[in-house]
Structure 1
Amino acid sequence: MSAQADPAEEFKDFAYIVSHDLAGPVRSMVAFSQLLKESLPRPETPEDQLHLELIIESGQKLGDMIGGLLAFSRLNTVPRSRTLVELEIVVARCYMQLQAQLDATKGHFNYPRMPEVMADTQQMHTVFFSLLDNAIKFRKPDQAPDIRIRCDKGNDFWEFSISDNGIGIDPMFYDDVFRPLRKLHTDEVYPGVGMGLTLTRKIILAHGGNIWLEPSEMGGLKVSFSLPR
């Protein structure tokens, strides 16, 4: 008797294949639209120019969304090896990558000594970079971002939190923001595709931890998560 396929596993494979196969045509659509824009004579009307720019912009956004879905599906289909990861180095690298944004917004960033954990290095970078990037992006217009990492040692888990003084999230949407492509703001206000917290949650759960949201003591958002010691 043949083994019955697991519907959940089949869906994961399907999502990966669809996301992967869609990425190529979307890239081609954007590239050829840009070539068309550069090679055509001056558009007859401003509307023609606007329509072509909207095609390119929409294609780029679709490409970003597919990229996010592909990254999400890869967490299910691509095995990752775990090693002893120095989170001190991971956070320091994230800080270096985000330093230009912090300088531009006059932001402040503080973090304590960080432990070592058994994890996938790249996925830990994804977690911290995504959460820190969100803390900068979703700042209040009239305030410099103030971002603080905290780390507490429990019996079986390390508990981390990233707090900010930004715009926060209404508690009624705490569950929604972990869903793929879920956004609470328009691209004009806060650009993005709505996959950061989705990927972060997926990674934390895959490592045997948990993640939750609450208001921060600074008036913004506090994202807390745990990882096994």
Structure 2
Amino acid sequence: SARLIEGLEAGGDDYLVKPVSVDILEAKLRSVIRTLSLYRQIEESRDDLKRANITLTRANRELDTFAYSVAHDLKAPLRAIDGYRGLLMEDSAERLAPEAKDYLERIGLSVAHMNTLIDDMLVYSRIERGTPKTTTLELKPLIESALQLYQRELDASKVQVTVTATGSLSADRRGIELALRNLIGNAVKFVASEPSPSIEIGFEQNADRQHLWVSDNGIGFDMRHSNRIFDIFQRLHPSDRYPGTGIGLAIVRKAIERMGGRAWAESSPGKGACFHLEWPA
């Protein structure tokens, strides 16, 4: 009897055997009441979670609408600025002093930079809210498409590109395209000043993991900053020499983390860098 009461008090649920003592009946009732209370708490938590999900979904839609609205509102005056700049260059070029022409060129570059910054912020925002959809992708067209975006820069700097990656991978298409595009763009930017610039793209996988990397022989960086470079708006080099928005590597990390993976880099000053992506197979 004492053990049965102790078990019921601890949360056990046992049947009653006649004759039933008052102590056992009280313990049984307390156990039932406690169980019912837990059920009610679970139902309330489920309802709270449902309401929170509805609120979060609504907030995401509103944030998406807000982001596009802000992007449109920011780009509208930029288009006007660039339009007037173009008119001045076309209609008054002969009357403008060299210094004035230089100012107009700088305005054009600033407008282009701001447009790119807005686009990158929108991309980063979409990654944060999107749901990854894993599919099988052939590596060759994936890499060729990313390289094509930088063909002009690659040709101008005579960059030697070596692709050892073959076969296929499993990943979210949009996520891996963004990550690869930004890693290649990053490599192109930092090898441009090298006498014999080169970039290598490789891939390997096993039963559990997939590993993609982009290496270059560019200016490199100190490994003390290896984590900071993946933070948004973080830059290690002056923007006048190496232009960019400071969002590219943040997009890379966010995209691969959304696939359950990780991004990291290895480098040393003056000896190039290798950026790695690893995610589940």
Q: Which residue of 2 aligns with 1:136?
A: 188
Whether 1:220 aligns to 2:272 is yes
Q: 1:33 to 1:200 in 2, by over 3 A?
A: same
Q: Which residue of 1 aligns with 2:169?
A: 116
Q: Is the 8 A contact 1:65 1:181 kept in 2?
A: no
What amino acid maps onto 1:88 in structure 2?
K
Q: 1:189 to 1:54 in 2, by over 3 A?
A: closer
Q: Is the 8 A contact 1:140 1:167 kept in 2?
A: no
Deviates further, 130-139 or 36-45: 36-45
Q: Which residue of 2 aligns with 1:210?
A: 262
Distance 2:232 2:148 in 1: 28
Q: Which residue of 1 aligns with 2:205?
A: 153
Distance 2:93 2:198 in 1: 49
- Cα distance per residue 1:129-186 (max 9 Å; x no partner): 2212222221173432232233232342212222222111222222222223333223
What amino acid maps onto 1:72 in structure 2?
Y
Q: 1:81 to 1:22 in 2, by over 3 A?
A: farther
Q: Is the 8 A contact 1:33 1:55 kept in 2?
A: yes
Distance 1:82 1:28 in 2: 41
User: By percentage of residues, which structure has more helix?
Assistant: 2
- Cα distance per residue 1:159-216 (max 9 Å; x no partner): 2222222111222222222223333223432222222212111111111211111127
Distance 1:173 1:16 in 2: 33
Q: Which residue of 1 aligns with 2:76?
A: 24
- Cα distance per residue 1:114-141 (max 9 Å; x no partner): 3221422x43222222212222221173
Q: Is the 8 A contact 1:108 1:144 kept in 2?
A: no
Distance 2:104 2:159 in 1: 37
How many residue pairs were aligned? 227
Question: What runs of 5+ residues in structure 1 fail to find an aligned partner?
Answer: none
Q: 1:156 to 1:51 in 2, by over 3 A?
A: same
Q: TM (normalized to structure 1)?
A: 0.79
**Counterpart of 2:77 in 1: which secondary structure?**
helix
- Cα distance per residue 1:17-72 (max 9 Å; x no partner): 43343223322322233224433475565554444443333222212211211221
Q: What is the identity percentage for the equivalent residue pairs of Structure 1 and Structure 2?
A: 29
Q: Is the 8 A contact 1:210 1:225 kept in 2?
A: yes
Question: What runs of 5+ residues in structure 2 fail to find an aligned partner?
Answer: 1-46
Q: Is the 8 A contact 1:87 1:117 kept in 2?
A: no
Q: Is the 8 A contact 2:165 2:204 kept in 1?
A: no
Q: TM (normalized to structure 2)?
A: 0.67
Q: Between Structure 1 and Structure 2, whose CA radius of gyration is higher?
A: 2
CA shift, 1:81, in A, is: 4.7
Greater relative CO, 1 or 2 (CA 8 Å, sep 6+): 1
What amino acid maps onto 2:160 in structure 1?
G
